Chains A and B, each alone.
Chain A
Amino acid sequence: MATDTSVVAPKAISMADYKGRVDPDWCPGCGDFGVLAAVQKALVELQIPKHEVATISGIGCSSNFPGFIETYGMHTLHGRALPVATGMKLANHAMTVLVTGGDGDGFGIGCGHFVHAMRRNVDLTYIVMDNQIYGLTTGQTSPTSRIGMKTKSMPYGNIESPLSPVALALAAGATFVARGFSGDQKHLTELLKRGIEHKGFSFIDVFSPCVTYNHDNTFQWFRPRVKKLEDNPDYDASDWNVAMEKSVIWGEEIPIGKFFERTDLPTLHGAEPVLSAGPLVHQNNRIPADVAKTFIEELM
Chain B
Amino acid sequence: MRQLCKGNVALVKGALLAGCRGYYGYPITPASEIAEAAALYFPQVGGTFLQAESETAAINMVYGAAATGLRVMSASSGPGLSLMQEGISYLAGAELPCVIVDVMRGGPGLGNIAPEQSDYFAMVKGGGHGNYRNLVLAPASVQEMADLTILAFELADKYRNPAVVLADGFVGQMMEPLDLEYREVPQPEKPWAVKGTPETRGNLISSIFLEPDGLEDHERKMEAKYLRAQEAEPRYEMSYTEDAEVLLVGYGIVARIVHSAVEALRRQGVKAGLFRPITLWPYPSKALVKAAAHVEKVLVVELSNGQMVEDVRLALNGKVPVEFYGRGGGNVPSVKEIQEQVLGRVAAAV
Contact = CB atoms under 8 A, between A and B. Distances in A.
Interface in B282-323: none
A152 B26 contact: no
A137 B29 contact: yes
Interface residues of B, number: 18
A143 B35 CA distance: 16
A14 interface: no
B27 to A, nearest CB: 4
A231 to B, nearest CB: 35
B205 to A, nearest CB: 24
Which secondary structure dominates chain A's binding surface? loop
Interface size class of A (residues with CB under 8 A): 20 to 34
Nearest to B28: A137
A262 interface: no
Nearest to B27: A137
A24 to B, nearest CB: 18
Contacts of A77: 79, 110
Contact of A154 (B29, B32, B39): B39
A27 interface: no
A110 B83 CA distance: 13
A153 interface: yes
B51 A109 contact: no
Contacts of B51: 140-141, 153-154
Interface string A16-52: 0000000000000000000000000000000000000
Contacts of A201: none
A104 B29 CA distance: 15
A124 B177 CA distance: 53
A133 B185 CA distance: 37
Most chain B beta-carbon neighbours within 10 Å: one of A110, A111, A143, A153: A153
Contact of A140 (B35, B55, B79, B110): B35
A79 to B, nearest CB: 6
Nearest to B40: A155
B43 A140 contact: no
A109 B54 contact: yes
A143 B54 CA distance: 11
A152 B39 CA distance: 8
Contacts of B179: none
Interface in B8-37: 26-29, 32, 35-36
A153 B36 contact: yes
A61 to B, nearest CB: 13
Contacts of A295: none
B147 to A, nearest CB: 26
Interface in A156-181: 156
Contacts of A155: 36, 39-40
A108 to B, nearest CB: 4
Contact of A153 (B39, B54, B55): B39
B27 A134 contact: yes
A59 B110 contact: yes
Interface in B24-69: 26-29, 32, 35-36, 39-40, 43, 49, 51, 53-56
A109 B56 CA distance: 8
A43 B33 CA distance: 40
A153 B35 contact: yes
A263 interface: no
B32 A138 contact: yes
A111 B28 CA distance: 18
A78 interface: yes
A152 B36 contact: yes
Nearest to B53: A108
Contacts of B40: 155
Interface in A185-200: none
Contacts of A79: 54
A137 B28 CA distance: 6
A137 B32 contact: yes
Nearest to A107: B53
Given A111-B53, A140-B36, A143-B53, A153 B79 contact: no
A154 B23 CA distance: 13
Interface in A111-157: 111, 134, 136-138, 140-141, 143, 152-156
Contacts of A75: 110
A140 B53 contact: no
A205 B178 CA distance: 46
Contacts of B27: 104, 134, 137, 140, 153
Interface of B: 26-29, 32, 35-36, 39-40, 43, 49, 51, 53-56, 79, 110
19 contacts: A75-B110, A77-B110, A78-B79, A108-B54, A109-B26, A110-B54, A111-B53, A138-B32, A140-B27, A140-B35, A140-B51, A143-B53, A152-B32, A153-B27, A153-B35, A153-B49, A153-B51, A155-B36, A155-B40
Closest 6 CB pairs of A and B: A109-B54, A137-B27, A108-B53, A152-B36, A140-B27, A153-B39
Given A140-B32, A153-B39, A155-B40, 8 more contacts: A59-B110, A109-B56, A137-B28, A137-B29, A138-B32, A143-B53, A155-B36, A155-B39
Interface of A: 59, 75, 77-79, 104, 108-111, 134, 136-138, 140-141, 143, 152-156
